[in-house]
Amino acid sequence: MNTTQHVASLGQSLWLDNLSRSLIRDGTLAKMIAEDRVSGVTSNPSIFQSALASSPYYADDLARLKASEPDVERRYEALVIPDIQAACDLLLPTHEATGGNDGYVSLEVAPRWAYDTAHTVEEAKRLSAAVNRRNLLIKVPGTPEGLGAFEALTTLGINVNVTLLFSVAQTQAVFEAYIRGLGTRAATGADVRRSKAVASLFLSRVDTRVDEQLTAIGTQEALSLRGKAAVALAKLAYQRYLKTFHGEAFAALAQQGATPQYLLWASTSVKNPDYRDLLYVEPLIGAETINTLPDKTLDALRDHGQPALRVEEGVAEAAAQLAELARLGIDMDAVGNTLQDEGVKLFDAAYQKLLQQAG
C-alpha cells in the first residue's frame, strides 16, 4: 500500500484538482485512479484556462468550433464538456463500487451568476443535461444566492459541489441548505438515496489573509499564530459536520437512505514557501472527508506524506487559536465573507480569459 492508498484506507477520498484533455489522452488520470486511488476530479475556470493554454489537443476542435459556433460561451462548453464526460466515464467504476458515494467530477456554473439564484438554477439544469452523467457534480458558489440555488437543485435531485467557502459560518449555512433541500425532496416522495453534495472549504487563502493581519499586528503573540487559522477552522468545521450529520438534524433523512454532505478541503497547495507542503493535507485526514489536490501536492503526498487520522485531534487547541484571533481583532466570519467575494471575482476573471482563448 503506497501513501495515497493509505489515505484512502483511512476513509478520506483524494480528488485531483485538475483536468485537461492531456491528462485524459496520455493516460495520466487513469493511472492516478488505478495507482493512487484518486476517486474524483474538480475543475474550475482557472483550471480550464490553463488546460486550453497548455494542451495541444484543443486546437483542431477550437478551429472547427470557431467556424460553426458563433456563441463563445457555447464554444467553450463544447470544448470542455467532452473532457468532463471522459473523466466521469473513467471514474464510473469508482462511482458504482462505492454505491454512488464517490467517483464524481465537478463542473462550475459561470461565475457571473454567483449572485443570481434563478440563473444559477437554470444554468445548473442545462449543464447537468448537457453532460448527462450520473457522477457529475455541478459547482455552485456558497454565496447567499448560491445557497438558494443549491437548496432548489437538491430538491430537484441535481447533485452539487458548493464552492468558495471560507468560514465555519458559511459551511454551516451550506449544511442547513442541504438538509432543507433534501427534506423538501423527501416530502414530495422522491428518492433521496442518490442525492449527493459536498461542501468545499478553501484553506490556503484563509491563512494568506489572516497572516497579513497578524504580521500587521506584529506582536510575538500574533506572529505565533501565523499559518494556523485555516487548519483550525477546518477542524472546527468538521466538528460541525459530525454534529449536523450524525445527530438529530439529519436522523430522519438518514433513515431514508440520504447521505451526509461531506466536507471537501480545497485550495490545499501552500502559498507560503516557509510552510510544510502538506500543511493542508496531513492534519486534516479523516473519515467522510475529501481532499482535492493539485498535481504537485498529490506528488508530495505520494513522496513523503505521513498519513494518520488527525482531523479530530487538537480540536480544543483549534478553538483556542480562533478565540485568540478574535481577541486580537480578527473576525473570521468577516475574513470569510471578504474572501468569498474576492473568490467570485477571481473565478470570473479567469472565466473571461477563458472565453478570450475560446474566441
State what percent of residues in the chain have pLDDT above 90.
Answer: 94
Number of Cβ atoms within 10 Å of the Cβ of 327: 9
pLDDT, average across residues 237-262: 97
Q: What is the pTM of this model?
A: 0.96
**Alpha-carbon gap, residue 224 to 241, rounded angstroms:** 28
Among 1-5, 85-89, 117-121, the minimum mean pLDDT is found in: 1-5
**Which among 290, 293, 313, 315 has a CA at the least distance from the CA of 303?**
293
Tell me the H-state helices in the chain.
Answer: 3-9, 21-25, 28-35, 45-54, 59-68, 72-97, 117-131, 144-156, 168-187, 204-217, 220-223, 229-245, 248-255, 295-304, 315-327, 332-358
CA angle 22, 350, 340 (to 5 degrees): 120
* pLDDT single digits (tens) 97-108: 999 999 999 999
CA atoms within 13 A on the CB side of 263: 31
Residue 332: closest CA among 322, 321, 324: 322
What is the distance in angstroms between the CA of the first residue and the CA of the last residue of the chain?
Answer: 46
Domain count, the chain: 1
Identify the pLDDT of residue 359: 79
**Phi, psi angle pair for 260, to nearest 5°:** -65, 160
Distance (Å, whole) CA 1 – CA 4: 8
296 is an active site residue: no
The single residue of 66, 139, 296, 353 carrying the catalytic annotation is 139
Residue 329 CB: number of other CB atoms within 10 A?
Answer: 9
Alpha-carbon dihedral angle through residues 187, 192, 195, 198, given to the nearest 10 degrees: 70
What band does 278 get if pLDDT is binned at 50, 70 and 90?
A: very high
SS3 302: helix
| 321 band by pLDDT with thresholds 50, 70 and 90 | very high
| Residue 124 neighbours by CB under 8 Å, 6+ apart | 109, 138, 140, 149, 153, 158, 160
For residue 229, what are the domain limits?
3-358
Instruction: State yes or no: pLDDT of 354 exceeds 90.
Output: no
pLDDT on residue 358 = 80
- With contact defined as beta carbons under 8 Å apart, do 335 and 206 qualify? yes
Q: What is the pLDDT of residue 1?
A: 84
CATH classification at residue 57: 3.20.20.70
pLDDT score at 203: 98
What integer is the mean pLDDT of 52-64? 91
CA dihedral over 298, 303, 304, 305, signed as positive or negative: positive
Residue 217 corresponds to which amino acid?
I
pLDDT of 173-223, one tens digit each?
999 999 999 999 999 999 999 999 999 999 999 999 999 999 999 999 999
pLDDT of residue 147 exceeding 90:
yes
Phi/psi at 163 (5° precision): -110, 175
Write down the mean pLDDT value for the chain.
96
